[in-house]
Amino acid sequence: MKKGILAALCAGMIVLSGCYGSYGSTKWLHNAIGKISNKWAKSLVHFLATPAYGLCFFFVDFLFVNTIEFWTGSNPFAAGDSYYEKDAQGNSVAAVKNEDGSLSVQFTSAKGEVSNLTLQRDENVVRALDSNGDLVAQYEIEK
């Protein structure tokens, strides 16, 4: 009886996590090991961390975090992810993902003018809000 319930729970978790998520904890582990500067130490730690990769991938990401991401639309590990890009003309954009799933974006022109926006996404709409929370733009995503 207990084995049957456990098997049903495991099967249910696999079915419910059938989405392709961002695998945040696995990426976090890989990036943490990648920060080791000595190539021999990095290789040794990477080899020794093989069981940790399995735990991160299957138990943490596949069964739990990706399921949360599937149902809520936001990955708990993704908060704080950032992006920065600068073009040849000197314009730059910096973005960071917030805990609520929104994206804070700062655009700096080559002249030094700074614009701050918050991007919010619903199921099929992306809204750009200024620093006062006023709607600046809205884009509907075609499905």
pLDDT of 20 strictly over 70? no
pLDDT of 13 strictly over 60? no
Domain ranges in the chain are 2-72, 82-140
Residue at 55: amino acid letter: L
Rounded to two decimals, the pTM is 0.45
Tell me, what's the pLDDT at 14?
53
pLDDT digits (tens, 9 = 90+) for 28-51: 777 788 888 898 988 888 888 878
Give the integer Cα–Cα distance in Å for 24 and 73: 14
What are 131's two structure tokens? Answer: 């620093």
Q: Torsion over CA of 11, 13, 18 and 21, rounded to 10 degrees?
A: -150
pLDDT digits (tens, 9 = 90+) for 88-130: 888 888 888 877 778 888 888 889 888 888 888 887 888 888 8
